[in-house]
Amino acid sequence: MTVLARLRGDPVALVAIALLLALAVAAILAPWLAPDPESLDLAAMLAAPSLAHPLGTDELGRDVASRLLHGGRVSLAVAAATALLAGLTGTALGLLSGYGGGRLDAVLMRLTDGVMALPLLPLLIVLAALDPAKLGLAPDLLHSEVFAVGRIVVIVALVGWTQVARLVRAQTLAVKARDHVRAARAIGAGPVRIMLRHILPHVASPVLVATTLSVGHIILIESALSFLGLGVQPPLASWGNMLTGAIGTIWTSPAAALWPGLAILLTVLACNLAGDGLQRACDPRR
């Protein structure tokens, strides 16, 4: 049975994947679906749900539904980009470590162990609080929207590659000894070609599973950092930073904090369920 056929027999995973697709479509179409998320209606601050504002307004009178859609666009883009960057880094380092072996392997694996042993959240806070101007980056780059989002992607990816690296290394060690790799080496294929053409296809499915499972985790980390005011910066909305002011407003309008968190919960839940289903479909023995 193929992976797809097994996946088709797993209703929970199918629902999760459908939900993720729907979220992705909503995020892409956000600018056409929802009005400006940054327009203020100071006459209607923290308003209850109405026809004009289906989910009410926030403490500055901005439409919550619109911010939710645009925030999801940012949160999902950040999560996807981070997972991709971390997955690529982990795959490259895992391949090098597993295929290279010897001292290179020892150094890379000690590095992986070291990064895995670090206190994640305090470290991320320090990285996010750094002054990018002191790194010598161009000032006009620092104020661009791409940089604001790219910064958080790089920071989270910097600590998020370890699991994939270990997984790819283990798989590479197993595949390296197979006959087709030895045959390729015998006819004179170089190490880069062997890694990319003969080993990479065999590590693709565990990497896909690990990356899907990591997206949920990354969304949680990004939202937590944004909640603390260190992730995606306002006025750009993200699901995390929509809740930054919630501790203050929870006494006057406790319901306002409901939606962004619910969106995070559902998305992360869908990622984890989809990843779990994918894992079972790729490796039915587990």
Partner 1 sequence: MGLILGRLGQSLAVLLAMSFVIYGLMGLMPGDPIDLMIAADPHLSAADAVRLKALYGLDRPWTERYLRWLARIAQGELGYSRLFARPVLDALGPALANTALLMFCALALALTLALPLGVAASRRPGGGLDHAANLLAFVSVSVPTFWLGLMLVAVFAVWLGWLPAGGMHGLAEDDGGPVDRLRHLALPVATLGIAGCGQYLRQMRAAMLAEAGHDYVRTARAKGCGPVRVLLGHQLRNALIPVTTIVALEIGGLFSGALIAETVFAWPGMGRLIYEAVMGNDFNLALSGLLLATAMTLAGSILADLAYAWLDPRVRSL
Per CB under 8 A, residues contacting partner 1 are: 110, 113-114, 117-123, 125-127, 129-131, 134-135, 216, 220, 223-224, 227-228, 240, 243, 246-247, 250-251, 254-255, 257-258, 260-261, 264-265, 268-269, 271-273, 276
- In the complex, least distance from residue 270 CB atom to partner 1, rounded to whole angstroms: 9
Pick from 214, 77, 215: nearest CA to 148: 77
- In the complex, least distance from residue 36 CB atom to partner 1, rounded to whole angstroms: 25
DSSP string, 72-107: HHHHHHHHHHHHHHHHHHHHHHHHHHHHH-HHHHHH
- In the complex, least distance from residue 239 CB atom to partner 1, rounded to whole angstroms: 8
- In the complex, least distance from residue 246 CB atom to partner 1, rounded to whole angstroms: 5
- In the complex, least distance from residue 75 CB atom to partner 1, rounded to whole angstroms: 11
- Residue 95 or 260 with smaller CB distance to partner 1: 260
- Residue 41 or 249 with smaller CB distance to partner 1: 249
How many Cβ atoms from other residues are within 10 Å of residue 258's Cβ?
A: 14
How many Cβ atoms from other residues are within 10 Å of residue 95's Cβ?
A: 24
Q: In whole angstroms, how far apart are CA 58 and each of 46, 160, 239, 240, 242?
A: 5, 33, 13, 14, 9
Pick from 162, 116, 156: nearest CA to 238: 156
- Residue 83 or 199 with smaller CB distance to partner 1: 83
Element (H, E) at 282: helix 258-282
Placement of tokens 């001292």 in the chain: 103
- Residue 207 or 230 with smaller CB distance to partner 1: 230
DSSP string, 143-193: TSHHHHHHHHHHHHHHHH-HHHHHHHHHHHHHHHTSHHHHHHHHTT--HHH
- In the complex, least distance from residue 122 CB atom to partner 1, rounded to whole angstroms: 5
- Residue 41 or 59 with smaller CB distance to partner 1: 59
Answer for the pair 227, 240: CB distance below 8 angstroms, yes or no. Answer: yes
Q: In whole angstroms, how far apart are CA 151 and each of 127, 143, 216, 222, 273?
A: 10, 11, 19, 11, 28
- In the complex, least distance from residue 90 CB atom to partner 1, rounded to whole angstroms: 19
Q: In whole angstroms, how far apart are CA 269 and each of 97, 143, 152, 272?
A: 33, 34, 22, 5
- Residue 25 or 130 with smaller CB distance to partner 1: 130
- Residue 114 or 235 with smaller CB distance to partner 1: 114
- In the complex, least distance from residue 282 CB atom to partner 1, rounded to whole angstroms: 18
- Residue 12 or 29 with smaller CB distance to partner 1: 12
